[in-house]
Chain A
Amino acid sequence: MTAQLVASTLRVSTPLIFASLGGMFCERSGVINIALEGIMLIGAFGAAVGTLVSHSPWLGSACGMGAGVLLAAIYGLFVIRLRANQIVAGMAINMLAMGLTPFFCKILYDVTGSTPSIPIADRFQSAPLYLSWGFVVICFLWMKYTPTGLWVNFAGEHPEALAAAGIRVNRVRWAAVLVSGALAGMGGASLSIFLSSSFSRDMTAGRGFMALAALIFGKWKPLPTALACLLFGFADAVQIRLQGVALWGDQPIPVQFIQILPYLVTIFVLAGFVGHSRAPKALGTAFQEG
């Protein structure tokens, strides 16, 4: 029972870890990423289609990441190049993904609901789980010990200082947004070809926002963020386990209260009631290169 719960916690946190690491790059560089949800969704779709075509989950997840990068590029075009409001554009990107996935699904498979089911031999068994933790370590080292990690940080905290040092702020942000697209796309891929057996409509079901919550809970740092993902994943795993289980009499346990827990925790953390979480200083402000 405990071992099962640990295993399912690790499994359901995998997409959250990928997506929140993606969100981290983006937000540390100064670009808000409300669009994680949509990027995950298109990543999940791309991965399912890629796997169905190639019969390889690796090629499939490459497709998912590619789809994520493509959507992130549209996002980048609007928020970096065209200086659109990042929250507005982010919401629009989510809508775009919600609209485009059934649209392409209908063209490819003549149904809007979901892609055909992917044979179990073509799906991931556990690779994304290990990969996600590998990425946590890589991101940690990257942000802490490499010059490019420093650039990302400065683009989000003191863009003027970075520009004064001769680095193009918006190039750094472009790179961060695209990396974020790849990672969030991989998060979506691990939903469709790792945790489930097909893409289904709106299958992200708020996980992009939950990844964002984990990012805030984790104070925009890789290791704490990954731990927050584990915590939220645990809540999810418990909730799935308790669904339909009777507690007293024949009354099933209201799992809704467990479902809302991660969101409640995030509000409390952000309000400074539990610890303190501070956003990158230049988060959400466009940078106009002189």
Chain B
Amino acid sequence: MRKVLQPILAVALGLALGLGVTRIAGESPWHVLQILWKSAFGSSYDFGMTLFYTTPLIFTGLAVAVPFQAGLFNIGAEGQLTLGALAAAAVGALWPMLPWPVAPVLATVAAILAGTVWGAIPGWLRARRGSHEVINTIMLNFIAAGLASYVTLYLLKNPDSQNPETRAIGAGYLIHQFGVFGGAPVSLALPLAIVAAVLVWILLWRTVLGYEMRAVGQSEPAARAAGINSGRVRIIAMAVAGGLAGLVGVGEVLGNAGKFRLGFSPEYGFIGIAVALLGRNQPVGVVASALLFGALHKGAADLDLETEHVTRELSLVLQALIILSVSAEGLWSWMKKRGEA
């Protein structure tokens, strides 16, 4: 019970604190909440946009959750998704004539591979060189951003545009968008994300490898004593995470923009940390909290227009406060103690 109750309480606390902040701007928190709700779920288009933001957050949430189960902290989903999207766009720009369905499958494989490599590097560094994955993934995020900027501006630049983006991918690469969302770019990437969540669940709880991952995450020395090759398990966990993050490129490049745009991600990788944490690093929880954070992101988008002083950046404040609330171990053990007393 506590497993479900605690995240819900944390969300409530975070929202209450964050909306309280809007008082400073002279807005009624209740009014702001109504705008958030209406903007996230008010029409089929709004709901579609919420789902559009939810999709990459499922991928990045899983990309944080899998290594977490193996005792690793993946702050690198941002870099992994950047290179995944870049790889998908590069394939599409270099071989634009490839027909459907070969084309999107190839681009998807490229996205997974690029992310996998970028995830495996910090996994390897941790397993074989003992250097901490948190610092390494942060550094790799910046390196990925630099590489993406170089490839986009120098190698694959779109000659017809002033924007920092690559050439358009071929028409055969575009994947199906669902028509019921009033034009919101909800594509096949959404069911793909759900499938990924199911596969992650199977991996973690129904395979030997998943068992080994969780064993390493529980206690690395114990797992090693039991004969588990913890280094190998850690590298695989990070590689899988990278591949999952790379899949963000499918929704963005093949299902939405049709090219790689520098800075397309509003920090999906970092929000993924919050998604995983709130979802208790379980696939079902990740999907649910991805929807919440997707709705917050979409909901806040209309604040600029609908209020005098509150801007869309409020979503960052709300997300931050929800993360802080859910991570405050001391608060929850104190509440538990009081509950028992």
Closest to B129 in A: A271
**B51-59, B133-141, B192-200 - the one binding chain A:** B133-141
What are the residues of chain B within 8 A of A94 when measuring CB–CB?
Answer: 270, 320
B140 touches A267 (CB 8 A): yes
**B99-107, B177-185, B283-291, B308-316 - the one binding chain A:** B308-316
8 inter-chain pairs at a CB distance below 8 angstroms, sorted by A residue, are A83-B329, A89-B327, A92-B327, A94-B270, A107-B24, A213-B139, A256-B147, A266-B139
Partner of A103, one of B25, B75, B135, B267: B25
What are the residues of chain B within 8 A of A244 when measuring CB–CB?
Answer: none
B205 near A: Cβ within 8 Å? no
**A9-17, A48-56, A191-199, A257-265 - the one binding chain B:** A257-265
Q: A264-B139, A266-B139 are in contact. List 8 more A-B contacts (CB 8 A).
A: A74-B324, A83-B328, A84-B328, A95-B267, A206-B142, A267-B125, A270-B125, A272-B131
Beyond A254-B154, A256-B146, is A84–B327 a contact (Cβ under 8 Å)?
A: yes
A209 near B: Cβ within 8 Å? yes
Q: How many residues belonging to A are interface residues under a CB distance threshold of 8 Å?
A: 47
Interface centre among A106, A112, A286 (most CB of B within 10 A): A106
Bitwise, A162-199 to B at CB < 8 A (1) or not (0) is 00000000000000000000000000000000000000
B329 touches A84 (CB 8 A): yes
Could you tell me the distance in whole angstroms from the C-beta of B281 to the nearest C-beta in chain A? 12
Main secondary structure of the interface of A (DSSP, over half): helix
Could you tell me the distance in whole angstroms from the C-beta of A82 to the nearest C-beta in chain B? 4
Partner of B309, one of A107, A206, A209: A107
* Number of CB contacts from chain A to chain B under 8 A: 147
Residue numbers of A with Cβ under 8 A of B are 32, 34, 74, 78, 81-85, 87-89, 91-96, 98-100, 102-103, 106-107, 110, 112, 206, 209, 212-213, 216, 254, 256-257, 259-260, 263-264, 266-267, 270-273, 279, 286
B240 near A: Cβ within 8 Å? no
What are the residues of chain A within 8 A of B315 when measuring CB–CB?
Answer: 99
Q: State A254–B142 Cα separation when bound (angstroms).
A: 16
A96 touches B329 (CB 8 A): no
B273 touches A91 (CB 8 A): yes
B323 near A: Cβ within 8 Å? yes
B330 near A: Cβ within 8 Å? yes
B131 touches A267 (CB 8 A): yes
Interface centre among B139, B311, B315 (most CB of A within 10 A): B139
Q: State A78–B331 Cα separation when bound (angstroms).
A: 9
B313 touches A102 (CB 8 A): yes
Q: State A112–B329 Cα separation when bound (angstroms).
A: 34
B73 near A: Cβ within 8 Å? yes
Partner of B146, one of A95, A106, A259: A259
What are the residues of chain B within 8 A of A96 when measuring CB–CB?
Answer: 316-317, 320-321, 324
B132 near A: Cβ within 8 Å? yes
Q: State A267–B124 Cα separation when bound (angstroms).
A: 12
Q: State A32–B273 Cα separation when bound (angstroms).
A: 17
B149 near A: Cβ within 8 Å? yes
What are the residues of chain B within 8 A of A212 when measuring CB–CB?
Answer: 135, 138
Beyond A84-B327, A100-B317, is A106–B309 a contact (Cβ under 8 Å)?
A: yes
Could you tell me the distance in whole angstroms from the C-beta of B157 to the nearest C-beta in chain A? 12
